[in-house]
Amino acid sequence: MIEWFAVAQIVVALLAALVCVAACVLKKAPNDLTMGLTLLSAVGLLCQVVIALVAPAVGNPPAGDLLEFWLYLIVAFALPIGAGVWALVDRTRWANGVLAIVGVSLAVMVYRMAVIWGIWA
């Protein structure tokens, strides 16, 4: 895992959560901005999958349990996809609330993955 990339993922996830909360408070339906930021979080996690596959081969092995790391990564990747489908089906403001919860969850899960990998204690 790469430290600057983990920080970028956390920032994007929290920004997405903040924008989605604002859209929910303003009673807006999911739009390109809220869905796009959630998609950007998912793309970052897909890049993290590639990084996690390559990093041990180039001398950056995890310090913690590899199974726990991969389970966090798989679930974290599934969250924005599931929430995106939810937001496409449920076009109310509450779908933005779900997207906001997913954004906060992703930030926490990426932080935990960084701790498992050994970047942060």
Whether residue 60 contacts residue 85, with contact meaning beta carbons closer than 8 Å, is answered with: no
pLDDT recorded at residue 85: 96
pLDDT recorded at residue 120: 85
Please report, in tens digits, the pLDDT of each residue of the chain (121 residues total): 899 999 999 999 999 999 999 999 999 999 999 999 999 999 999 999 999 999 999 999 999 999 999 999 999 999 999 999 999 999 999 999 999 999 999 999 999 999 999 998 7
Which pTM value belongs to this model? 0.94
Q: What is the pLDDT of residues 22-43, one digit of tens each?
A: 999 999 999 999 999 999 999 9
